[in-house]
Amino acid sequence: MQKKTPKARKNGNEYELPTTVGIIFSDVKREYFPTEAQYITEKDAKKDAELIGQYLETLGITVLLYPGNAELPRRLRRDRPEMVINICDSVKGDESLAAAIPGVLELLDLPYTGADILGLSLDTNKFVIKKLLEQNGVPVPRYQLLNSPTDYLDPTLRFPLISKLNAIHGSVEITREAVSETEKHLRERLRYLIQTYKQPVLVEEFIAGREITAILLEGMIKKVYLAEKVFHEAEEKYLFTTFEDQWLAEGKDVFQYVRIDDPLLKEFVKKAFDVTKMYDYGKFDIRLDQSGRYFFIDSNCNPAFGPKELDMALSVILDLYGISFYEILKRLLLNTVRDWYGKERLPLPAESEA
């Protein structure tokens, strides 16, 4: 789906920042989620939106906050913000319904940040994402989608295998138990995940090696920022970022990001961004094995968005490159204004330096 461009809004030779911005966030209630773990990943959605709003207000922008629920279309029609930042990850606790949010914004002809309906729909089907990447030459581990605990297991898959919920992000259920060394353990894991979350499970070969996070930020051109996760305690047999590391570490530094650079990986990231139909910004998790081969293990359109103090990968990694959250916001807002209101390519502030 191509974003619409109804009219240009410019001041001299530069696009202006919008004066009124809405922020749509997940309407979170505990009863929406089957487990406490999934609830934890979204419970602070409103607080995060409020903090982003504070940053926007210091730029002289009026901020309007909207929970992503049934009242959203009415409130948007009433207020008519100039554009919207969409950080809504689920509707009624269901990530697959998050694609309804850009649908509402398209119907109301409101500019918005992030992925459109297609991009968000793809994002909640990890199996389809794997297929898209594979078919377009982006390397991924060997994988299989299993709909029941008794499904036939492809004998070409080599243990250890890691099991992931097909339609849920946020590292939900990515625990030490997610890695299986035997088929018996894998079958038990499948039974628990499928019965609890009522969805298929993606199983893929676990790639031992280094873990890399890639952030792509759009502007006049696509820019890729790479960082390796350097773990402080490397005693685990299988080293990877778990749900506990991400959400329950309580301030403990499990790893730190270190800048790296590789032109080949950057080209893979740009291709992955395009084929998975992302817009504005995206995040990819990649493993580098001992033979120097890259494997894309996860992708996120509209990844967790917020300033560095929220410990979100996008801001933490871009801070390593000297890019503040204010700069991220300005680039995101101007990119959306330009894409919706005019296709003429104009330079964005500080983009050539980042």
End-to-end CA distance of the chain: 29
Contacts of 235 (CB under 8 A, 6+ apart): none
Architecture of domain 210-345: 2-Layer Sandwich (3.30)
With H, G, I as helix, E, B as strand and everything else as coil, classify residue 231.
Answer: strand
With H, G, I as helix, E, B as strand and everything else as coil, classify residue 219.
Answer: coil
Predicted pLDDT at 344? 40
Predicted pLDDT at 252? 60
Predicted pLDDT at 4? 40
Identical topology for domains 10-114 and 142-205: no
Predicted pLDDT at 250? 60
Spell out the CATH class of 10-114.
alpha beta
List the chain residues with pLDDT less than 70: 1-15, 234, 250-252, 342-354
Residues in the chain: 354
Predicted pLDDT at 246? 87
Distance CA(328)–CA(166), nearest Å, equals 30
DSSP secondary structure code for residue 136 in this structure = T
In CATH terms, 142-205 corresponds, of 3.40.50.620, 3.40.50.970, 3.30.1490.20, 3.30.110.40, to: 3.30.1490.20
Q: What are the structural domain ranges in the chain?
A: 10-114, 142-205, 210-345
Distance CA(100)–CA(104), nearest Å, equals 6
DSSP secondary structure code for residue 33 in this structure = -
Q: What is the pLDDT of residues 84-139, one digit of tens each?
A: 999 999 999 999 999 999 999 999 999 999 999 999 999 999 999 999 999 999 99
Predicted pLDDT at 301? 95
Contacts of 286 (CB under 8 A, 6+ apart): 211, 212, 213, 214, 265, 294, 295, 296, 297
Contacts of 130 (CB under 8 A, 6+ apart): 140, 143, 202, 204
